[in-house]
């Protein structure tokens, strides 16, 4: 049998040359769905009182959002010579997020009116309009609502993070319109994301006060680093850095990062962790961004296969509605109402929350996103305005509770009242 011809030195050099770095792909990455599932599980168990570090799932959500949204916008910019259709982008975000949010706002208000105590209804009426305007986080900061101590009286307190994301979706595409055009657009976007994340970290460190960390925990400026580190991971410089590792090394890094994040979740204890607001949250977000970049580059590594398991992936697909519904369910199904506590109550809370999330996805999210032609263009804008006008009418129709009436006999407060 004749031997194959010996390649020339030039041919050997061509074969040995490294392959060009692929642009970050926006194909569906199954492990990222599983990562969403892990994030929402952490939040569910944290709010149920069974996992002190589970609140970091919110941070993981923010990093994922920054990565996915930036990847989509950069892909569009490359395909359209640096141009981004902002109205189309904002329309897609509105169809994705607002219908489920509107249903949760209306449904929660009616349930609290029918079943909740007066103070819960009073705060729901106060907070709801700010949630609808995607300014809930700044409303809570201005009202000095201590997130770690007062969340149990606010049925919408968990929606501060949705407001942070929505504000990011308004501003960040505008930044990309200015930075992603022309040669070196990916490098400029990466530089802006890195600089913004660093500035956000400095603000968190400077503005942190031990008495109440709500300002830095819920402020858009002080939490922007999570979104921006995710955005940085979606740029070409980050993809080039990860691609140099090779798939096997990327798999080892994925495992190490996942283990480090898990260890931090186990040891973190909310505002009682002094390092959390002096770099701890930033390092957690950085580790999450690196993990996401590794999973996007090599999804079939051991960590990727674990996160792509069907239960986690399915939980991830309903994570948005699950996050929206779980806290109102937790507050309304109190220990007194259920007659259960501990693990039995937690099991009921999880089951009810998941059921509502599945119904929301099947009946509200997916139809509006994928099948409702009326939800696009002008008719979609009219429908959105009409929906929020109906919400405003509902808020007006629900009477303010009289929380103090009947609790004090004012005739006994005078000098002759004994």
Segment 114-149, tens digit of pLDDT: 999 999 999 999 999 999 999 999 999 998 777 776
CA distance 114 to 141: 28
Give residues with Cβ within 8 angstroms of 33, minimum separation 6. 307, 308, 312, 313, 316, 317
At 409, the pLDDT band (50, 70, 90 cuts) reads very low
CA distance 101 to 88: 20
CA distance 129 to 317: 27
Tell me which of 49-53, 162-166, 400-404 is least confident.
Answer: 400-404
Taking residues 47-76, report their average pLDDT.
95
What per-residue confidence (pLDDT) applies to 286? 98
Taking residues 263-273, report their average pLDDT.
85
Over 90: is that where the pLDDT of 275 sits? no
Nearest to 136 by CA among 115, 113, 159: 159
pLDDT per residue as tens digits for the range 215-246? 999 999 999 999 999 999 999 999 999 989 88
CA distance 227 to 38: 18
Q: How far is CA 207 from CA 151, 202, 203, 217, in A?
A: 21, 8, 6, 10
Over 80: is that where the pLDDT of 4 sits? no
Tokens encoding 247: 């798939």
CA distance 323 to 158: 8
Tell me which of 149-158, 159-168, 336-345 is least confident.
Answer: 149-158
The whole model's pTM is what?
Answer: 0.87
Over 80: is that where the pLDDT of 22 sits? no
Taking residues 307-324, report their average pLDDT.
96
CA distance 88 to 255: 38
Tell me which of 30-44, 84-98, 269-283, 339-353 is least confident.
Answer: 269-283
Over 60: is that where the pLDDT of 179 sits? yes
Over 80: is that where the pLDDT of 364 sits? yes
CA distance 367 to 373: 9
What per-residue confidence (pLDDT) applies to 225? 98
Give residues with Cβ within 8 angstroms of 177, minimum separation 6. 83, 84, 86
Nearest to 68 by CA among 276, 231, 302, 308: 231
Kindly report the three-state secondary structure assignment for every residue of 255-320.
HHHHHHHHHHHHHCCHHHCHHHHCCHHHHHHHHHHHHHHHHHHCCCCHHHHHHCCHHHHHHHHCHH
Over 60: is that where the pLDDT of 210 sits? yes
Question: What burial letters (b/e) apply to 98-124, b meaning 16+ CB within 10 Å?
Answer: bbbbbbbbbebbebbbeebeeebbbbb
At 151, the pLDDT band (50, 70, 90 cuts) reads low
Over 90: is that where the pLDDT of 189 sits? yes
The per-residue pLDDT of the chain, averaged, comes to: 87
CA distance 321 to 256: 30
What per-residue confidence (pLDDT) applies to 382? 87
What per-residue confidence (pLDDT) applies to 27? 64
């Amino acid at each position: 049998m004749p031997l194959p011809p010996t390649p020339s030195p030039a041919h050997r050099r061509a074969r040995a040359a490294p392959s060009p770095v692929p642009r970050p792909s926006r194909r569906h990455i199954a492990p990222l769905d599983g990562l969403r599932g892990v994030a929402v599980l952490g939040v569910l168990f944290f709010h149920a009182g069974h996992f002190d570090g589970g609140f970091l799932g919110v941070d993981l959500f923010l990093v994922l959002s920054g990565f996915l949204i930036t990847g989509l916008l950069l892909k569009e910019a490359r395909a359209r010579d640096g141009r981004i259709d902002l109205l189309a982008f904002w329309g897609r975000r509105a169809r994705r997020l607002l219908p489920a949010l509107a249903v949760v706002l209306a449904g929660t208000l009616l349930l609290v009116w029918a079943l909740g105590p007066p103070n819960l209804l009073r705060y729901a009426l106060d907070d709801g309009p700010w949630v609808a305007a995607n300014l809930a986080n700044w409303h809570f900061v201005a009202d000095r609502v201590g997130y770690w101590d007062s969340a149990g009286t606010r049925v919408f307190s968990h929606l501060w993070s949705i407001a942070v994301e929505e504000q990011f979706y308004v501003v960040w595409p505008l930044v990309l319109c200015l930075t992603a055009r022309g040669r070196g657009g990916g490098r400029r976007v990466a530089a802006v994301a890195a600089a913004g994340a660093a500035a956000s970290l400095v603000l968190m460190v400077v503005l942190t006060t031990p008495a109440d960390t709500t300002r830095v925990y819920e402020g858009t400026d002080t939490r922007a680093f999570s979104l921006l580190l995710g955005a940085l991971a979606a740029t070409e410089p980050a993809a080039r850095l990860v691609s140099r590792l090779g798939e096997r090394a990327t798999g080892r890094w994925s495992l190490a990062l996942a283990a480090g994040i898990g260890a931090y979740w186990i040891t973190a204890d909310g505002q009682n962790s002094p390092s959390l607001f002096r770099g701890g949250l930033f390092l957690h977000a950085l580790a999450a961004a690196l993990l996401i970049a590794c999973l996007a580059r090599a999804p079939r590594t051991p960590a990727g296969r674990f996160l792509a398991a069907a239960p986690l992936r399915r939980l991830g697909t309903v994570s948005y509605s699950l996050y929206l519904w779980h806290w109102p369910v937790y507050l309304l199904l109190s220990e007194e109402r259920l007659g259960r506590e501990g693990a039995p109550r937690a099991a009921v809370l999880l089951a009810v929350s998941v059921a509502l999330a599945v119904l929301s996805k099947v009946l509200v999210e997916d139809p509006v996103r994928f099948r409702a032609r009326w939800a696009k263009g002008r008719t979609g804008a009219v429908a959105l305005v009409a929906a929020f006008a109906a919400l405003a009418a509902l808020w007006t129709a629900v009477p303010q509770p009289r929380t103090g009436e009947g609790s004090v006999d004012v005739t006994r407060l005078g000098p002759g009242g004994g």
